[in-house]
Amino acid sequence: MEAASNPFKPSAVEKRKTRVESIVKWLMFGMAILLIIPVFGILFHLFHKAAPVLSWDYIWESPTNRGKEGGIWLPLIGTFYLVLVSLVIVAPVGILAGIYINEYAPNNWFTRVINMAVTSLAGVPSIVHALFGVGAFVLTLNMGACLLSAACTIAVMTIPVIVTATREALAAVPMAFREACWNMGASKWQTIRTIVLPNSISGILTGVILEISRAAGETAPILFTGAAASVAVRMNSLGDKLMPYELDDRFMALSYHLHVVAEKIHGMPEEMKYGTAAVLIALILLINSFSITLRIFLRSRKKW
Amino acid sequence: MIRKSQAKLGAFLDKAEKPIQWLITLCGWSSIIFVAAIFIFILKESWPAPLTLNWGEFFFSHRWIPVPAEGNEPTYGAMGIMYGTLAITVVSMFIAVPLGLGSAVYISEFATPKLKETLKVLIEFLAAIPSIIWGFIGLVIMGPIIQKVFGVAVGVNLLNASIVVGLMAVPLIVSISEDALRAVPDSYREASLALGASKWEMIYRVLFPAAKNGLLAACMLGVGRAVGETMAVWMASGGTDNIPENFFDPMLLLERVKALTATIAGEMPEAVNGGEHYQVLFIVGIVLLTISVVINVVSDLIIKGFKADKA
């Protein structure tokens, strides 16, 4: 009787459909949560375990007794110089490559191949990059295993990060901007230099920051190209402390140091392992938050 | 003063248009140059092993004994380590594909705009965690847990490595599948909902078929990520190249395995520079490189179609 009085009452089929839909919805929400919660739980655990050693002294002191005591200054500054040198190499090449692909490249099969090469380069396993670094920089160019070889290897590996970001940033600049500039009699390069680049610099910057985060975390490419488990450097003055490595020195890096303290040395105190991991992950998360904040800020004040 | 020098620089840059264009073109080709260079230099270092290597043994024997006992010849049978890579890839995809596709569908179809942004940022953070940290998590945190839960002697094994690699591959799968789902026009969704489909029916019957190329490519790139992962696999997988007799025995999850990438990373420091072992490790590198380039090119073709796009 009631069913007849309410013609909009859902039928059995419709009820089942709604039920299935809500089950699926919660299931998928569960998957997304399952992905995120454990990882952040682990990170919390990691910082919790590392808390006893984390202090300014831990960052400022150099490791002694093969990393069992002391701090992590030498690996930290090594990572800094590795990132800096790789950035100096990769940023110009990557940005110019992005400009070529978005502004100059004709729409033909060759450009398609270039784009495929960019994605392929991004997908090459990091250990293969390490082998390339050994073959090309350490042996063929005879640079030896050193900071410069490692930075070159990292640079080749991270080209796609900057190319992709630059390409997308340039593509976001409206075509009308370029057309207006051309109509004023500017050449192609003048247009790019004065109109397109200033309007896309923020997107390019995001790519550069992503490169920094990648370069700081990578371990495999520097394994055979220059990273060392320990180095002997003079530590007499502040200058030595701030610039302990020459370009042709072997160096310590945070990521490789973590590998060494976590796996290679017996009797390593737990908190030293967790401390190194915590500093590395904090560094990476910090760099990434910076890039995300920058992106959100720039999106909010976009003019067109 | 600054304005003046800026203007000077500008005039100089304008005059230099031709050389700058050459420079830009050269940099534009750099990716092709580097992919080719990677092939060439790795081949160069492996030479002449590709001619002298017993390829039958390399692919079909599991006797990987590069440093044999006194009086024996070294043998390079890579089947055991190829099995390791394959096993980690397959098991990790059982974790990564459902989680990745599920999260992508949730983010793109169900989540409110605010939740969507939050989830995307969190997954971006997940993608940023370097592989050495994942290796550390596998070795130091998950290892003891697996030891306790399953009562095994060693916590670094196939299961551990697969969970770690699976979680590493998820962000990539999520971001590419989400792109694929977003590329489906809204009119498809509206038409199907207007015909009385529930949201799930719409996703299952309309979105999945429409976005299937992109979703497939996402899974393939996840596979590529799993095959190429080095540090995490090296630290979390244990490293023994046995081939099991029964591939469907669930206890295999608790066996230690050894992957192609981990073999290179672990044995390069011991290999004599220019020796046969060293050259064979570079051949393993060529195998990995070939797999990754093929996966990337094929997934690119799947996403964009075989013809050059018009845009």
Is there a contact between B265 and A120 if contact means CB atoms under 8 Å apart?
A: no
Averaged pLDDT score across all residues of chain A: 87
* Residue A139 and residue A27 in one domain: no
pLDDT at B185 over 70: yes
Q: By the CB < 8 Å criterion, does B241 face chain A?
A: no
Minimum Cα–Cα distance from B103: chain A residue: A32
Report pLDDT for B289. 94
Report pLDDT for B1. 62
Is there a contact between B285 and A128 if contact means CB atoms under 8 Å apart?
A: yes
pLDDT at A39 over 50: yes
CB < 8 Å to B23, chain A: 96
Report pLDDT for B252. 76
pLDDT band at B52 (very low <50, low <70, confident <90, very high): confident
Please report, for chain B, the start and end positions of each structural domain, with discontinuous segments joined by +: 75-304
B101/chain A closest Cα distance in angstroms: 9
* Residue A159 and residue A220 in one domain: yes
Minimum Cα–Cα distance from A283: chain B residue: B129
What is the number of domains present in chain A?
Answer: 2
Domain range for A99 is: 56-300
| Mean pLDDT calculated for residue range B27-40 | 92
Report pLDDT for A303. 65
* Residue A268 and residue A148 in one domain: yes
More confident residue, A242 or B30: B30
Query: Roughly how many angstroms between the first and final C-alpha of chain A, as a whole number?
Result: 60
Q: By the CB < 8 Å criterion, does B141 face chain A?
A: yes
Assign domain B75-304 to its CATH architecture.
Answer: Orthogonal Bundle (1.10)
* Residue A74 and residue A6 in one domain: no
pLDDT tens for B122-160 read 988 888 999 999 999 999 888 889 888 888 888 888 899
CATH code for position A100: 1.10.3720.10
* Residue A14 and residue A104 in one domain: no
* Residue A89 and residue A22 in one domain: no
Judge if pTM exceeds 0.95.
no
Find the range with the poorest average confidence among A161-165, A239-243, B159-163, B185-189.
Answer: A239-243
Report pLDDT for B307. 54
Report pLDDT for B311. 40
Report pLDDT for A304. 62
Give the separation between CA A286 and CA A299, rounded to whole angstroms. Answer: 20
* Residue A41 and residue A157 in one domain: no
Report pLDDT for B306. 60
pLDDT tens for B216-273 read 999 999 999 999 999 999 988 887 777 777 777 777 778 888 889 999 998 888 888 8
* Residue A29 and residue A65 in one domain: no
Is there a contact between A105 and B28 if contact means CB atoms under 8 Å apart?
A: yes
pLDDT at A118 over 80: yes
Find the range with the poorest average confidence among A2-6, A244-248, B80-84, B136-140.
Answer: A2-6
Find the range with the poorest average confidence among A187-191, A262-266, B293-297.
Answer: A262-266
* Residue A33 and residue A182 in one domain: no
* Residue A123 and residue A70 in one domain: yes
Report pLDDT for B310. 41
CB < 8 Å to A109, chain B: 308
pLDDT at B40 over 60: yes
Minimum Cα–Cα distance from A152: chain B residue: B34
* Residue A113 and residue A198 in one domain: yes
* Residue A36 and residue A168 in one domain: no
Q: By the CB < 8 Å criterion, does A223 face chain B?
A: yes
pLDDT tens for A153-207 read 999 999 999 999 999 999 988 999 999 999 998 888 889 988 899 888 888 998 8
